[in-house]
Chains A and B, each alone.
Chain A
Amino acid sequence: MEKEYIKTKVLSIIRKIVKNSTGKVIDINNNISLINSGLIDSLGMVVFIQALIKKFHINIEFSELTADNFDK
């Protein structure tokens, strides 16, 4: 899959989750830290990870779940 395609899809998943948690369309750009900003909390993260697994048919290990891997 192309990098740009993946990026667009991931961003659209994030926007949906953020809209659900904040009730607003928030300007998400590359510089925003999703966790530190509080935009995605632990419940939102569960939804996000499930969506990633489903969309891209990937496997995410427990040991990969750290803020450093997501908060970029």
Chain B
Amino acid sequence: MSKVSFSIGESLTYSADTYSEHIAVSTTKGEDLSFRDLEEKSNRLAKFLISCNIRKGDRVGIFTNKSPEQVVSIYAVAKAGGVFVLLNHKLKKDQIVYICNNCNIKLLIADSICIQIAGNNICSESSVEKIISTDKSSATDSMAFYCFETALNNEMTLDHLPRVVGEDVASIIYTSGSTGKPKGVIVTHRNIIDGADIVSRYLSICEKDRILSLLPFSFDYGLNQVISSIKYGAQIYLSDFVFEMDVFKYIQEFKITGLAGVPIIWIKLANFPYLRNFDVSSLRYITNSGGKISKNYVYRLTEIFPQTDIYLMYGLTEAFRSTFLPPSMVKKKPESIGKAIPNVEIYVLNAKGQLCNPEEKGEIAHRGALISQGYWDNPEATDKIIKYIKLPNMLIKEKVVFSGDEGYLDKDGDLYFLGRKDEMIKSSGYRISPTEIEEVFYEEPGVEGVVALGVEDIELGQKIKVIIQTRLDVQEITDRIKKLSAIKLPVYMQPHLFEVTPSMPVTSSGKIDRSKIKQLYGKV
């Protein structure tokens, strides 16, 4: 079989032929699934899905904990020509019902706890017609219920799976928008396969790698990790991020070579007091995305993982990944998010849509591979973010993603992220980047999270409020933060208000939930 694959199903078939009995998926509890097993099981489940009347383009929800069954389900739906919708298991019933109805999910693959969360009557409350339960215990005799294991034992004589091409829709990835209901980002097989190829190229992922997966697959960053790992013959260990010590334990025990995380994970790992007790020398690379890590923590990571390549990356679900800073630059430019990834071009544009000069602030735009097909059933929102235009250096009009993020390029062409355009603080006539303020407070030991935001004020336009996450004493940290503010920040950037909290709300993909923080703290 050719090494080139155009669809998710093909990429697994190629790996099963090449890596056959090598382990593809492992749990931290010692369960293993070889490439051959994964191919076989997903083929069987794909055929069962077709027998359940799943046709090309039908949406199938996958609502389980992180497990080998979840990975089998992803590939099975893709092979059956269906569209998989991964539902984060932190979602609550109303959100599940909303998503099911929004994209018309016909069949749900779920574990017994997720079925309890969705409610046993999900079939009467939403578009869901059938459920495949991954636990025997919850599969009842009801007509609408099937058991995953029975589905896999099914000896069906179906010779051909439907033809799937790169342009077919593979998945709808729901993102929690800053306002309103979650929006479903439509991604094709080509989007996902290109994402795996591009990322594997700059991370050099190969069959020698053992990758620890801490992020949910409902998050594009987590999904890319599993697809890349399987496409390039690596072994992926399924886990969740709960305790810092487990991460170090798993790195040591399984000789993990690759690890992806979001800022909160890195901050917690960097503050773990017993990290020196563990051998992390197997770790070849770590990656950060889903938010910027402050400079201070970037330096900490270079100390904790001295032999490890650190990749700082940037992207948004609508175009998956845009830039990365190569490891060799991390100490020189820890605040930059680097240059465009392979097969992508990045621009910073002013309000008139012209290219900004170096150091000039503007909106970050993405051209090239990985652009999604927009939002499910929401053409207005799609038109705002994906525009069909001709920029100065293009020959013809093409799709460009306007990120809604503000940033600038330095003289070397390295990109800097300043914040969401709609989150910029306007105070005393200045336009202030929350990230610049947050960066300063991350320098204070014991600070685990910082959010700066603007709150309405008659005189200033907006007052600057800073919310600090720490386990330290409130008074002590407030005093230290105020001192730091006076030393490090120009007067117009100094916060007027402070709040201290032991924990901040996070989104289902583990990023700091800025919109929720705005609801909680957005008043004087």
Contact = CB atoms under 8 A, between A and B. Distances in A.
Interface of A: 21-24, 26-27, 32, 35-43, 45-46, 62-63, 65-67
Given A38-B66, A38-B113, A43-B506, A24 B93 contact: yes
B65 interface: yes
Nearest to A45: B242
B249 interface: yes
B243 A41 contact: no
Interface residues of B, number: 29
B249 A66 contact: yes
Interface of B: 28-29, 65-66, 89-90, 92-94, 111, 113, 116-117, 119, 240-246, 249, 268, 272-274, 502-503, 506
Contacts of A35: 240, 242
Contact of A24 (B28, B117, B241): B117
Contacts of B240: 35-36, 38, 41
A26 B117 CA distance: 8
A67 B117 contact: no
Contacts of B268: 42
A26 B113 contact: yes
B242 A42 contact: yes
A23 B243 contact: no
Contacts of B117: 22-24, 26
B290 to A, nearest CB: 15
Given A23-B93, A37-B111, A43 B503 contact: yes
Given A23-B94, A26-B117, A66-B243, 10 more contacts: A26-B116, A38-B66, A38-B90, A38-B113, A40-B242, A42-B243, A43-B506, A63-B274, A65-B244, A67-B242
A27 B112 CA distance: 10
Contacts of A62: 245, 272-274
A21 B92 CA distance: 8
Contacts of B272: 62
16 contacts: A22-B117, A24-B116, A24-B117, A35-B242, A37-B111, A37-B113, A38-B65, A38-B90, A38-B113, A41-B90, A42-B268, A62-B272, A65-B243, A66-B243, A66-B249, A67-B242
Contacts of A66: 243, 245-246, 249
Closest 6 CB pairs of A and B: A23-B92, A38-B89, A38-B65, A65-B243, A42-B242, A22-B117
Contacts of B245: 62-63, 65-66
Contacts of B242: 35, 40-42, 45, 67
Contacts of B119: 24
Given A23-B93, A38-B65, A38-B113, A67 B246 contact: yes
Contacts of B28: 67
A27 B274 contact: no
A67 B29 CA distance: 11
Contacts of A32: 113
Contact of B243 (A37, A38, A39, A67): A67
A16 B372 CA distance: 40
Nearest to B245: A66
A33 to B, nearest CB: 9
B506 A22 contact: no
A22 B243 contact: no
A61 to B, nearest CB: 10
A25 B242 CA distance: 22
Nearest to B272: A62
